[in-house]
A and B are shown apart, each in its own frame.
Chain A
Amino acid sequence: MNSIFIKQTIKTIGAASALALGLTAPVLADGHGGKVKIGLITTLTGGGAGLGVDIRDGFLLGIKQAGNEGIDVIVEDDQRKPDIAVQVADKMIQSEKVDIMTGLVFSNLALAVAPATTAQGKFYISPNAGPAQLAGRGCHENYFNVAWQNDGPHEAAGATANKMGMKKAFIFAPNYPAGKDALTGFKRMFEGEIETELFTKLGQTDYAAEIAQMRASDADGIFFFAPGGMGISFLKQYADSGIDLPLVGPAFSFDQTILPAVGDAAEGVLNTAQWAPDLDNDASRAFVETFKAEYGRIPSIYAQQGFDTASLIASAAAKADVKDTDAFRAALREADFVSTRGKFSFGNNQHPIQDFWVRKVVKDGDIFTNTAVEVAIADRQDVYAADCPLKW
């Protein structure tokens, strides 16, 4: 009765993404698990659009490469507004009857959508945000995270700071929950002393005051978390300040989406992530090649996370029918896919157990990119897993 309506909405919604990517409509029917319908909500308009575009492109590439013909993806924009994200999620679940939700970039949006999704018996598989609330006591059997728990990259930065010989650190982050988590994560691994700790305004783009404090401080190194435009601004201003304290931070300020805009200012800086474009494994090499061929740019970690998320879903869909929730969940837990980051497995809270890498910003010809230096922390599982009651 309602199938006509559904087809129409898919046509209108899918049109934008299919048009942009030249994808053809997926073919129905599949030998193993039956049809899977995935709703991907991400940020495609406004200032944060770069990250969402990369997640979407990586994800769609992953689905296409998996060659699993029973998988259908609907893409929609959240305008980076939590209420829009919730509304679109409701639409996808209630009207379009998707089986799996994914795609959100920002933690505050994921916190709005993921609980609502799992409460309605659907899967939410996060390709980016990993807030602590969903990893510990608030974990859920239908919530998976393929990227990292939010603290991970910051903990790795703490470990890296130790290796760099940092003894007195100047640390700062924007004044919002993810910023506070960042400083907590860093301090968890950092063995030296914290010289100064401060919070900047969310969205702040002028760091002259903070840089003056750095100059006046006794610190021997700086840890910072400043995603997106905040990171571009800080790095450019810091490079111009003449201070030569070593920097370290999570990959969010050194990512492929913003490196071209930062330019020389980032060259040589160490940063931490679960992946780098030159990681030494076949899956990663193949992914970077095909992504470049398809979209004409080097993939960012967001693209890589989107790609791995798609690969994971495709691997589970090949084994189990998504309508059989228990079987599909078991298939997801096996994580039986070739991850672009090499080793990959899930902990009991369904967040990754993985290596975090130290990467270094290098100039390769005209292009700034990251090269993997060494493993910062091996087989890292987040600390919240212990609070998660899930057992399997």
Chain B
Amino acid sequence: MNMLLLIEQILNGLQFGVMLFLMAAGLTLIFGVMGLINLAHGSLYMIGAFAAAAVAGWTGNFLLALIASMAAAAMIGALIELSVIRRLYDRDHLEQVLATFAMILIFSEGTRWVFGSFPLFLNIPDYLKGTVTLPGGIEYSLYRLTIIGIGLAVAVGLFLLISKTRVGMRIRAGENDREMIGALGVDISVLYTLVFALGAALAGLSGALVGAIQSVEVGMGEPVLILAFVVIVIGGIGSIKGALAGAVLVGLTDTLGRTMLPVVFGSFMDPSSATTVGSALASMLIYILMAGVLIFKPTGLFGGS
């Protein structure tokens, strides 16, 4: 494997990680502030993608589609927070798992009911199509670079929001002591709805961004959901910094594992079984990574006690 290819694969890993971060940021925020395990986060990702596909289909405008994805996910997020989710905050994790699992069923089949059983079309806008040549002669997809850019911008935005603004202060206070912040006269239920809608909007945005280069179909949210959980657990639950670190770590591990492992095994096995064993191990790699991290750091890389 030559150097240029390796750098390109590292970029790919980074890009995959950033996509996961968008999804994981909302999940970890919701967990950190409200203590809620939200399995329906994958459904919000799917809703974002479908909303974007529908709006892009009507208007042909990708930017509008992205806005629609965030708006739709935030709206539905706020709606379920007000009607169901807020009843779950003081329940134990088990009941949260069951309730949000039930919501996956409702959202998946509801989406299929509205949009039909076949995947929808959503494509990259013309101005983001094609490749650019990076220094060193690497040809890289402009759209993927854009995703990396958006993801990092969101990361910075979230850091600023949490460390510099009033809302951020309340969020931090809420993470530390829920009763205390209520006692201080902050309307905690509005704060919760806002945080949930923000997390939902991020999930919706990432669904739309990813939907443009992947498949917009029912059930697209669950595999990503599992990966996002892996990410936030590796990073330490509740920590945005941890989510970013975890996402990049998972992205790099998966991408590099996929490409390098068959090569590594090929150096001492015959090619066809090296491919089989290498790809089998590659598909288990991020889970091995996660188990490894937790065994040595039981609360993740950036988690508190």
Contacts and interface: CB of A to CB of B under 8 A. Distances in A.
What's the dominant secondary structure at chain B's contact region? helix
A269 interface: no
Contacts of A263: 121, 123
Contact of A233 (B9, B15, B117, B214): B214
A310 B105 CA distance: 32
A205 B120 contact: no
Given A47-B217, A206-B16, A213 B123 contact: no
A205 B207 CA distance: 13
A206 B211 CA distance: 11
Contacts of A201: 258, 279, 282-283
B112 interface: yes
B139 interface: yes
B20 to A, nearest CB: 10
B217 A229 contact: yes
A175 B130 contact: no
Given A203-B223, A215-B139, A240-B143, A50 B130 contact: no
B213 A236 contact: yes
Given A208-B15, A263-B121, A240 B9 contact: no
B279 A198 contact: yes
Interface in A262-279: 262-265
B165 interface: no
Contacts of A162: none
Interface residues of A, number: 41
Interface in A146-203: 175, 197-203
Contact of B271 (A45, A47, A197, A208): A197
A197 B275 CA distance: 8
A41 interface: no
A50 B117 contact: yes
Contact of B118 (A175, A200, A260): A260
Nearest to A229: B215
A47 B5 contact: no
B258 to A, nearest CB: 5
Contacts of B15: 208
A260 B214 CA distance: 13
Contacts, number: 128
B214 A205 contact: yes
B139 A200 contact: no
A212 B12 contact: yes
A236 B218 contact: no
A49 interface: yes
A295 to B, nearest CB: 11
Nearest to B219: A47
Contacts of B131: 240-242
A261 interface: yes
Contacts of B13: 209
Contacts of B121: 260-263
A258 interface: yes
Residue among B4, B130, B258 with the most chain A CB within 10 A?
B258
A372 interface: no
Interface string B258-287: 110010000000011001100110110000
B220 interface: yes
B264 to A, nearest CB: 14
B141 A261 contact: no
A349 interface: no
B219 A175 contact: no
A383 to B, nearest CB: 19
A370 B220 CA distance: 26
Contacts of A45: 109, 112
A240 B129 CA distance: 6
Contact of B214 (A202, A229, A241, A258): A229
A358 interface: no
Interface in B192-233: 210, 212-220, 223
B124 interface: yes
A220 B139 CA distance: 19
A233 B216 CA distance: 9
A377 interface: no
A240 B213 contact: yes
B239 interface: no
Interface string A291-332: 000000000000000000000000000000000000000000
Contacts of A107: none
A199 B215 contact: no
Contacts of B122: 261
A237 B213 CA distance: 6
Interface string A24-53: 000000000000000000000111011001
Nearest to A174: B279
A179 to B, nearest CB: 10
Contacts of A215: 8, 139
22 contacts: A46-B108, A46-B218, A50-B119, A175-B276, A175-B279, A198-B279, A201-B283, A205-B215, A205-B223, A206-B19, A206-B214, A213-B5, A216-B2, A230-B215, A232-B217, A236-B123, A237-B141, A241-B131, A242-B141, A258-B215, A260-B119, A262-B121
Interface of A: 45-47, 49-50, 53, 175, 197-203, 205-206, 208-210, 212-213, 215-216, 228-230, 232-233, 236-237, 240-242, 257-258, 260-265
Given A205-B215, A216-B4, 16 more contacts: A47-B217, A47-B218, A47-B219, A175-B276, A198-B275, A199-B279, A201-B283, A205-B220, A206-B214, A209-B258, A215-B8, A237-B214, A240-B124, A242-B130, A242-B131, A261-B215
Interface of B: 2, 4-5, 8-9, 12-13, 15-16, 19, 108-109, 112, 117-124, 129-131, 139, 141, 143-144, 210, 212-220, 223, 255, 258-259, 262, 271-272, 275-276, 279-280, 282-283
Q: Which 3 A-B pairs have the closest CB atoms?
A: A47-B219, A229-B215, A261-B119
